[in-house]
């Protein structure tokens, strides 16, 4: 659904808070890629990313009437907050279990759309995301948020600052350190990167926020 | 500081699609940012996007129906704390009148809150009596049903009560299936049916009157037959995770269903890959109840090429590394009739390393001979 050029975001958001379906669809169309990419960057698995994206938007309609956001960036921060909570809940549920998940049926997510997809395509996608996602996992929480919001979601340093409650200068400093760290970690797998001192593989497990 | 600004400028250029040359020290950082490009372009499938939008709007309609007046309300502002004025501090000191000291006011508020809670709780129980599976108050209704059953001391009445609850749940399940509902409405109904039908079976054992026992046993058998037919019909139309729940429900009814006891993933070089880097994994699933034509499923979708199927073993080959197959998620078996069984998380064993060994040469069969590495649960 295309956003009508004459429709201010604030108006659509106010209508969506009254559960107006057209406005909800407009918000959904605008933020679906944002939320999906956020989840995919943290999970590395397209299926899981879709599951948590779905949970995020269902929570959005359940809570939007109580949202205080009135403009786009505040709404994005609110929605990304929901997405992050869903992610944390997922990681919390997984804590203490050996990966991967085989636990069924108590906690197995509904709404799998696996029948529509080619599992082999999923396998190769998983392998290609794997190294980038693992490198992102090694960053600190702040660094990871800055890299995701700036480089994956495409927000400016000023907007990332507003989303995270930081000054743009602090965001740029975090971004610099985060990308330097990311460059070192991807160095081993990425021939397109100039050579930097190679790090020994980390024994650290996945650090999920 | 200047480098940070320069990096930010270069990143902005790249995000706008303009590739500029970066000074030496920044080049690795920009290359790292470039590694994220696939993520920046990732998008969910169109089918998923459509399905989710429909689900979201359905949920919006439910929320609107549940809160018809509150949908446009913003969160109420916190009441301002007003400094006590002389008049409000004035105590009522006459005989029989309450002196409104701060503690008296707190007591008054506590009373008001307690009365409101009691009233609300009572209202919730009244409203929950009609709650349907998948609804927000359905948990309260189930609580009420359980309490009612526990308070029913007569075994005949208790069995009949469980039978009635199970019949209502089965009807709700069939309605959800007819309306293509795959969510909690369907699973709540299914879980309730299984719980109530099983409880009816247990309660029947306490019935001593032979005539009543015979009547209830006939009703229970009839319900089991009806449910078996309904659940088998639903198997053909549901997605995998729902089929899995239905299969478990059929098993609880005593129907023979597939069961997976162990999955073994054995990796070898892919003989079809001339570079030698490709991997092929043989998936061997043991258990029972596998039908002719059964398939190995990864995340619910048929995967690989089936090599053989017997009642207790199915073997298939998947063109991927064993660890990649293992990390894909639940490994399952799907029977042609729609029943499905999944591996327990401890039942998957990877019997060879996912990493190529440079010195290892493939045998005639294309594998590495003796499995390497330790079994990984």
| Whether pLDDT at A41 is above 80 | yes
Region B60-66: what's the mean pLDDT? 88
Q: Is the pLDDT confidence value at A48 over 80?
A: yes
Indicate yes or no: CB of A116 within 8 angstroms of CB of B348: no
Cα(A149)–Cα(A162) distance, integer angstroms = 11
pTM of the model: 0.44
- Of A22-36, A146-160, B26-40, B163-177, the one with minimum mean pLDDT is B26-40
- Residue B234 has a pLDDT of 87
CB-nearest partner of A175 from B8, B55, B182:
B8
Distance, in Å, from the CA atom of A129 to the CA atom of B328, rounded to the nearest integer, reads 13
What does the pLDDT read at residue A192?
A: 44
Lowest mean pLDDT: which of A10-19, B58-67, B284-293?
B58-67
Q: Which residue has the higher pLDDT, B359 or B200?
A: B200
Tell me: pLDDT of B82 over 50: no
| Most confident of the following: A105-119, A180-194, B40-54, B263-277 | B40-54
What integer is the mean pLDDT of B362-368?
38
Q: Is the pLDDT of residue B127 over 50?
A: yes
Inter-chain CB proximity B183 and A109 less than 8 Å: no
Whether residues B298 and A119 touch (CB distance < 8 A) is answered with yes
Task: Name the band, by pLDDT with cuts 50, 70 and 90, for residue B272.
Answer: confident
d(CA B376, CA A174) in angstroms, rounded, equals 39
Q: Do A103 and B345 touch (CB under 8 A)?
A: yes
Q: What is the mean pLDDT of chain A?
A: 76
* Per-residue confidence (pLDDT) for residue A205, from 0 to 100: 36
Å from B22 to nearest chain A CA?
13
Query: B-contacting residues of A 125-184, CB under 8 Å?
Result: 126-129, 132, 135, 147, 150-154, 156-157, 169, 172-173, 175-176, 179-180, 182-183
Report the C-alpha gap between B172 and B175 in whole angstroms: 5
DSSP strand pairing (B295-298 vs B301-302) = antiparallel
Distance from the B150 Cα atom to the nearest Cα atom in chain A, whole angstroms: 25
- Note whether B4 contacts A176, CB cutoff 8 Å: yes
Distances (CA, A) of B277 to B9, B280, B315: 41, 10, 23
pLDDT band at B20 (very low <50, low <70, confident <90, very high): low
B217-240 per-position pLDDT tens digit: 999 999 999 899 989 888 876 778
Q: Give the model's pLDDT for residue B101.
A: 61
Per-residue pLDDT band at B34 (split at 50, 70, 90): confident
CA distance B313 to B308: 8
Q: Does A47 touch chain B (CB under 8 A)?
A: yes
Of A18, A24, A104, the CB nearest to B342: A104
| pLDDT at residue number B346 | 67
Contacts of A177 in chain B (CB under 8 A): none
Lowest-pLDDT choice from A25-39, A59-73, B194-208, B346-360: B346-360
Question: So what's the pLDDT on residue A132?
Answer: 77
Mutate to test the interface with A, among B30, B36, B54, B194 (most CBs of A within 10 A): B36
Q: Average of pLDDT values for B295-299?
A: 87
For testing contact with chain A, the best of B16, B40, B56, B342 (most A CBs within 10 A): B56
- Under the banding of pLDDT at 50, 70 and 90, the label for residue B324 is confident
The residue of chain A with its CA nearest to that of B348 is: A102
Q: Best of A119, A150, A201, A206 to disrupt the B interface by mutation (most B CBs within 10 Å)?
A: A119
Which residues does residue B309 pair with via DSSP β-bridges, in sequence order? B314
Q: At what angle do helices B240-252 and B184-204 cross, to 10 degrees?
A: 10
On the question of pLDDT at B107 being above 90, the answer is no
pLDDT over 70 at B294, yes or no: yes
Q: Which chain B residue's Cα is nearest to A48?
A: B329
Q: Any idea how long chain A is?
A: 209
Structure tokens at B99: 């002196």
Say yes or no to pLDDT of A179 above 70.
Answer: yes
Cβ contact (<8 Å) for A100 and B63?
no
pLDDT bin (cut points 50, 70, 90) of residue B68 is low
Q: pLDDT at position A44, please?
A: 80
- Using a pLDDT cut of 70, give the percent of chain A over it: 72
Cβ contact A17:B73 at 8 Å: no
d(CA B211, nearest CA chain A) in Å? 39
pLDDT at A144 over 80: yes
Residue pair A67/A189 in contact (Cβ under 8 Å)? The answer is: no
Q: Which letter, b or e, does each residue of B231-249 get, where b requires 16 or more Cβ atoms within 10 Å of its Cβ? A: beebbeebbbbbbbbbbbb
> What's the mean pLDDT in B328-357?
75
Q: How many CB atoms lie within 10 A of CB A193?
A: 21
Q: Which residues of A touch B1 (CB under 8 A)?
A: 169, 173
Confidence of residue B72 (pLDDT cuts 50, 70, 90): very low
Indicate the residue of A36, A37, A61 with minimum beta-carbon distance to B60.
A61
**Nearest CB neighbour to A100, from listed B55, B74, B329:** B329
What's B376's DSSP letter?
A: B
pLDDT above 90 covers a percentage of chain A that reads: 36
Nearest to B44 among A36, A65, A102 (CB): A36
pLDDT in tens, B169-210: 998 888 888 877 777 888 889 989 999 999 999 899 888 888
* Chain B residue nearest residue A102, CA to CA: B345
Mean pLDDT of B53-67: 89
Q: Do A110 and B242 touch (CB under 8 A)?
A: yes
Check CB contact under 8 Å for A101 and B330: yes
**Whole-number pLDDT of residue A203:** 34
B-chain residues near A36 (CB < 8 A)? 42-44
pLDDT of residue B100: 55
Q: How confident is the model at residue A13 (pLDDT cuts 50, 70, 90)?
A: very high
> Whole-number mean pLDDT of chain B?
78
Residue B292 has a pLDDT of 92
Contact check, Cβ <8 Å, B326/A100: yes
**Between residues B86 and B139, which one has the greater pLDDT?**
B139
Asked if pLDDT for residue A1 goes beyond 80, the answer is no
CB A157 within 8 A of CB A167: no
Q: If you measure CA to CA, which chain B residue comes closest to A109?
A: B241
pLDDT for the residue numbered A164:
87
Q: What is the pLDDT of residues B142-172, one digit of tens each?
A: 888 888 888 888 889 999 999 999 998 998 8
List the structure tokens of B53.
């939008």
- Give me the pLDDT at residue A63, please: 92
> What pLDDT is recorded for position B340?
92
Cβ-Cβ contacts under 8 Å between A and B: the total is 241
Lowest mean pLDDT among A155-159, B25-29, B362-366: B362-366
Quick: pLDDT tens for A88-142: 888 888 764 434 332 233 333 322 333 334 455 444 444 556 777 888 888 888 8
Residues of chain B neighbouring A11 (CB-CB closer than 8 A):
none
Instruction: Report chain B residues whose CB lies below 8 A from the CB of A53.
Output: 44, 52
- What DSSP string describes A109-129? -S---GGGS-HHHHHHHHHHH
- Distance in angstroms (rounded) separating the CA atoms of residues A178 and A138: 10
The confidence band for B311, taking pLDDT boundaries of 50, 70 and 90, is very high
Nearest-neighbour CA in chain B from A73: distance (Å): 18
Instruction: Please give the ipTM for the structure prediction.
Output: 0.75
Average pLDDT over residues B274-282: 78
């Amino acid at each position: 659904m295309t956003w009508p050029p004459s429709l201010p975001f604030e108006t659509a958001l106010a209508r969506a808070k009254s559960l107006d379906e057209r406005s909800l669809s407009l918000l959904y169309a605008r933020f679906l890629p944002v939320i999906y990419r956020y989840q995919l960057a943290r999970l590395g698995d397209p299926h899981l990313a879709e599951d948590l994206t779905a949970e995020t938007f269902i929570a959005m309609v359940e809570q939007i009437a109580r949202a205080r956001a009135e403009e786009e960036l505040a709404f994005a921060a609110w929605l990304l907050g929901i997405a992050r909570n869903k992610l944390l809940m997922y990681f919390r549920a997984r804590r203490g279990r050996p990966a991967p998940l085989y636990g069924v049926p108590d906690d197995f997510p509904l709404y799998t759309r696996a029948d529509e997809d080619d599992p082999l395509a999923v396998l190769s996608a998983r392998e290609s995301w794997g190294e980038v996602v693992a490198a992102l996992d090694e960053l600190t929480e702040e660094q990871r948020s800055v890299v995701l919001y700036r480089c994956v979601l495409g927000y400016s340093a000023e907007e990332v600052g507003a989303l995270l409650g930081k000054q743009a200068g602090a965001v740029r400093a975090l971004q610099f350190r985060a990308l330097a760290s990311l460059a070192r970690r991807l160095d081993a797998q990425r021939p397109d990167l100039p050579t930097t001192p190679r790090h020994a593989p980390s024994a650290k497990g996945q650090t999920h926020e | 500081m200047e480098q940070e600004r320069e990096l930010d400028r270069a990143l902005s250029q790249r995000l706008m699609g303009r590739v500029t040359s970066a000074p030496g020290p920044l080049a690795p950082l920009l290359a790292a940012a470039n590694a994220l490009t696939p993520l920046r372009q990732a998008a969910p499938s169109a089918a998923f996007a459509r399905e989710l939008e429909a689900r979201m709007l359905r949920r919006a309609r439910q929320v609107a129906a549940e809160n018809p007046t509150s949908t446009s309300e913003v969160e109420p502002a916190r009441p301002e704390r007003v400094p006590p004025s002389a008049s409000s501090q004035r105590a009522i000191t006459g005989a029989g009148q309450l002196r409104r000291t701060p503690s008296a006011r707190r007591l008054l508020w506590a009373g008001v809150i307690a009365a409101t809670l009691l009233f609300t709780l009572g209202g919730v129980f009244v409203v929950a009596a009609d709650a349907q599976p998948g609804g927000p108050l359905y948990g309260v209704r189930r609580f009420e049903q359980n309490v009612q059953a526990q308070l029913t001391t007569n075994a005949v009445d208790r069995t009949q009560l469980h039978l009635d609850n199970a019949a209502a749940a089965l009807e709700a399940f069939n309605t959800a299936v007819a309306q293509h509902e795959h969510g909690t409405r369907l699973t709540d109904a299914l879980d309730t049916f299984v719980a109530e039908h099983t409880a009816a079976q247990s309660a029947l054992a306490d019935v001593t009157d032979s005539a009543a026992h015979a009547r209830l046993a006939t009703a229970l058998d009839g319900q089991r037959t009806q449910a078996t037919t309904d659940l088998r019909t639903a198997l053909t139309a549901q997605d995998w995770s729902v089929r899995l729940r239905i299969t478990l429900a059929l098993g609880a009814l005593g129907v023979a269903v597939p069961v997976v006891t162990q999955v073994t993933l054995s990796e070898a070089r892919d003989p079809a890959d001339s570079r030698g880097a490709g991997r092929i994994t043989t998936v061997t699933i043991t258990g029972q109840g596998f039908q002719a034509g059964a398939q190995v499923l990864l995340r619910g979708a048929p995967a690989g090429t089936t090599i053989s199927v017997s009642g207790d073993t199915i073997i298939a080959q998947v063109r991927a590394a064993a660890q990649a197959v293992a990390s894909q998620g639940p490994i399952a078996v799907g029977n042609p009739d729609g029943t499905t069984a999944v591996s327990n998380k401890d039942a998957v064993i990877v019997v060879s390393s996912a990493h190529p060994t440079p010195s290892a040469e493939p045998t005639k069969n294309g594998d590495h001979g003796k499995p390497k590495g330790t079994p990984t649960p």
